[in-house]
Amino acid sequence: MASTSADFPINDKRIINGWAIFDWANSAFALVITAAIFPAYFVAVTDEDLSVFGMEMSNSSLYTFAISASYFIIALFSPLLSGIADYGGRRKFFLKFFTILGSLSCLSLFFFKGMEQLELGTVGFMLSMIGFAGGLVFYNAFLPVIVTEDLYDRVSARGFSFGYIGSVILLIINLVMVQFWERFGFPDQGTATRYAFLSVGFWWIGFALIPFRRLPSDEKQKTSPEILRKGFQELKKVWGAVKGEQNIRAFLFSFFFYSAGVQTVLFLASTFASKELNFETSELIVIILLLQIVAILGAYSFARLSEWKGNKVSLIAMLLIWIAICVIGYLVQEKAQFYAIAAAVGLVMGGIQSLSRSTYSKLIPENSDDTTSYFSFYDVLEKVAIIVGTFTFGLMEQVTGSMRLSMLVLSGFFLVGLLLLLRVRVRATARPEV
């Protein structure tokens, strides 16, 4: 069994900060491309009704299907890749591969100007999504490699916080550039927007060079074609361990349900605000920035709570808040009320993502060499949860004609996740001294 080379210091601040900077690098894509700028640009530069592979669909449907297809592809292949990475000791190799794939694909979006480049824009967006999601499998798997268990919560929170800060900085720069395009010498706003895509690609690959240099090097043990068969064997072994470990299984089921709720809210919050409360684009931008900034506070606050009361208590508290958010979202009528809800989402958004990752790290058997394979299950569940959550939300809206009722359905996902979490036992760890 391969593992990352042990010739590096554990809990080294330089390595930890290098690991966290990867979140700074790739989170800009998640915020600027998938949430803030590209969705509106895609709809604006393409025809409202399209024919794709002989099927008639709207441009917004094509965009949604592109996201679903991207998540399906990476969910299908990431377990195999991570199994190979564990056996071949190639965490860093795949981290680099997906980062380069994602950033270069993001740069290609600069050439997406309209219907004549529809294929380029769609495929470029899908490949960048695959690069982003694929890299996270191997990024997460480095956490139990570079720090001891007592620092999982705090270091995980640091990574998310770096990501929020970096993405907000670049989003503000891009929004100023797009809003005041004439002052920057652009011929039109569309060109300024395409330069924003360029900035994300260069930001992503540029800052990723830092973790590439600082993270432990791979210890490659096998280079023969046998590595493919061994990858399947490693995956099968970890799957067998997960099935036989009731505690891990209960947490993964819990994570699946509440993650379906979390990710769906994050993907569709701006759509809900626009459709149900008539928010303007500028107001939606304020909401996105509010979510990101408050999430920094949430990540650290709930990490501290977990040190005081434990991960399970912190997660339970956040799930109760998520349930309240969905119920209040069903009732909200005023814009001011929605801003308050957005702030609450930001608070628990950062905390629940950070603590979910660190809690799962604590549930993985100690001294395991299969951390990447374990995290592949975690990662795939999250991706499938996105598909299930967003599909359920859209189906409910289509059947009932109300996004508000869909919010109530999401509260059910959180409730099921909460009930399953009550069965999970998380081992206590000593409080860190620093």
pLDDT digit string (tens) for 235-263? 677 777 777 778 888 899 999 999 989 98
Q: For residue 11, which phi and psi values (nearest 5 degrees)? A: 60, 30
Q: How many residues does the chain have?
A: 434
Instruction: Look at residue 102 in the predicted model and tell me its pLDDT.
Output: 97
| Better pLDDT: 139 or 400 | 139
119, burial (CB in 10 Å: exposed 0-12, middle 13-18, buried 19+): exposed
Q: For residue 418, which phi and psi values (nearest 5 degrees)? A: -65, -45
pLDDT at 384 over 70: yes
Over the stretch 90-115, which tens digit does the pLDDT of each residue have? 789 889 999 999 999 999 999 999 99
What six digits make up the tokens of 146? 């570079």
pLDDT interval class at 186 (50, 70, 90): very high
**Average pLDDT, stretch 62-67?**
78
pLDDT interval class at 356 (50, 70, 90): confident
**Average pLDDT, stretch 386-394?**
80
The pTM of the whole model exceeds 0.85: no
Over the stretch 297-346, which tens digit does the pLDDT of each residue have? 777 787 788 778 888 888 999 999 999 999 998 888 888 888 888 888 88
Q: Which of 197, 170, 182 is nearest to 41 (CA)?
A: 197
pLDDT at 359 over 50: yes
**Average pLDDT, stretch 6-10?**
72
Of the candidate ranges 99-103, 200-204, 393-397, the one whose mean pLDDT is the lowest: 393-397
The contacts of residue 263 (CB under 8 Å, 6+ apart) are 382, 385, 386, 389, 390
pLDDT at 418 over 80: yes
Residue that has been written with the tokens 């100023």 in this structure: 176
Instruction: Look at residue 428 in the predicted model and tell me its pLDDT.
Output: 57
pLDDT at 5 over 60: no
Q: How far lies 381's CA from each of 217, 285, 315, 362, in Å? A: 28, 29, 18, 18
